[in-house]
């Protein structure tokens, strides 16, 4: 099951640049939460603070607290374990190009020590079914490389790879912005199905997409979370003038 995420006094830097300032929010379990805002406002940096990827950059620094379920991810748990619990999908599908579809999906499992063939077969099938890709690739699992799939299929394979290690949270940073409209709508349908089991955080610059998939939406501007509310409220009756200016297309 997904778990709630509680962010308190989160600040992040690249070198001397203070990129995220005093972020506070509560992301509900088993829902999709969208993060919107103009390019460069800190959305990707924020999601990377939720699985401790931000700190893998040598010039980066972070303070504050992030709790995922009962765990303070900066104190109670290792970066490796947190990245198992918090899966991530990026804008560009990033398959391991020389690996088969099968090996792509179970790469994380193998890192986590799984060796049993039958168990791997079962998890690969279940993950590909959850990512709505099984029927398209079931006959080619070990024959075709992950990189031979179409862009939309590669992205669903990357989602299957993230799901294979049984995460609680799925972070998706503009997961459809490099895809065609049909593939985009498949990813949106998928988010709809997955949110009953996972807590989903999706960065998107597409406001219609946020409105279609997410119950909650946060608007970021210049490293601050300006407003966080139900998606309906954000898009119909925002409290902050800056949110209104953004959603009505006055900037960004």
Asked if residue 198 lies in contact with residue 168, where contact means CB atoms within 8 angstroms, the answer is yes
CB of 39 to Mg ion, least distance (A): 7
Site for ligand ADP in 191-220 (CB under 6 A): none
Residues in the interface with ligand ADP (CB under 6 A) total 11
Residue 13 touches which of ligand ADP, Mg ion, none (Cβ within 5-8 Å per kind): none
Residue 208 is encoded by which pair of tokens?
């219609």
Distance (Å, whole) CA 203 – CA 225: 13
Among 14, 90, 114, 134, binds ligand ADP (CB under 6 A): 14
**Is 23 an interacting residue with respect to ligand ADP (CB under 6 A)?**
no
User: Residue 145 class from Cβ within 10 Å (0-12 exposed, 13-18 middle, 19+ buried)?
Assistant: middle
Classify residue 91 by its DSSP letter. Answer: S
Among 33, 45, 199, 209, binds ligand ADP (CB under 6 A): 45
**Is 222 an interacting residue with respect to ligand ADP (CB under 6 A)?**
no
DSSP bridge partners of 181 = none
Stretch that binds ligand ADP, among 23-31, 36-44, 68-76, 180-188 (CB under 6 A): 36-44
**Is 44 an interacting residue with respect to Mg ion (CB under 5 A)?**
yes
Which secondary-structure segment (H or E) carries 201? Answer: strand 199-203
| DSSP calls for 116-176 | -HHHHHHHHHHHHHHTT-HHHHTTTTTTSBGGGS-HHHHHHHHHHHHHHT--SEEEEESTT
Site string for ligand ADP, 54-93 (x = CB under 6 A): ---x------------------------------------
Among 2, 7, 10, 19, binds ligand ADP (CB under 6 A): 19
Q: Helix, strand, or coil here: 88?
A: strand
Among 5, 33, 42, 62, binds ligand ADP (CB under 6 A): 42
- The phi and psi torsions of 13 (rounded to 5 degrees) equal -130, 150
DSSP bridge partners of 20 = 12
Judged by beta carbon, residue 40 or residue 97, the one nearer ligand ADP is: 40
Stretch that binds ligand ADP, among 32-40, 70-78, 107-115, 185-193 (CB under 6 A): 32-40
| Chain residues in the site for ligand ADP (CB under 6 A) | 14, 19, 37, 39-45, 57
| Chain residues in the site for Mg ion (CB under 5 A) | 44
């Amino acid at each position: 099951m997904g778990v709630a995420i509680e962010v308190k006094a989160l600040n992040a830097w690249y070198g001397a640049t203070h990129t995220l300032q005093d972020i506070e929010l509560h992301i509900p379990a088993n829902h999709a939460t969208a993060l919107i805002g103009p390019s460069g406002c800190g959305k990707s940096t924020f999601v990377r603070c939720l699985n401790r990827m931000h700190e893998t950059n040598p010039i980066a620094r972070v303070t504050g607290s992030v709790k995922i379920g009962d765990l303070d991810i900066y104190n109670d748990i290792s970066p490796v374990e947190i990245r198992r619990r918090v899966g991530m999908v990026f804008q560009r599908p990033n398959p391991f190009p020389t690996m088969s579809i099968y090996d792509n999906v179970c790469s994380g499992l193998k890192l986590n020590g799984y060796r049993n063939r039958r168990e791997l077969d079962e998890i690969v099938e279940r993950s590909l079914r959850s990512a709505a890709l099984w029927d398209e690739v079931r006959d080619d699992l070990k024959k075709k490389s992950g990189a031979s799939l179409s862009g939309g299929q590669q992205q669903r394979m990357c989602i299957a790879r993230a799901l294979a290690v049984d995460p609680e949270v799925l972070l998706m940073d503009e997961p459809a912005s490099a895809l065609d409209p049909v593939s985009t709508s498949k990813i949106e349908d998928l988010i709809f199905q997955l949110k009953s089991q996972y807590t989903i955080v999706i960065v998107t610059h597409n406001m219609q997409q946020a409105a279609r998939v997410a119950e909650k939406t946060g608007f970021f501007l210049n490293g601050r979370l300006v407003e966080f509310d139900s998606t309906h409220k954000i898009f119909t009756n925002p409290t902050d003038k800056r949110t209104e200016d953004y959603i009505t297309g006055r900037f960004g």
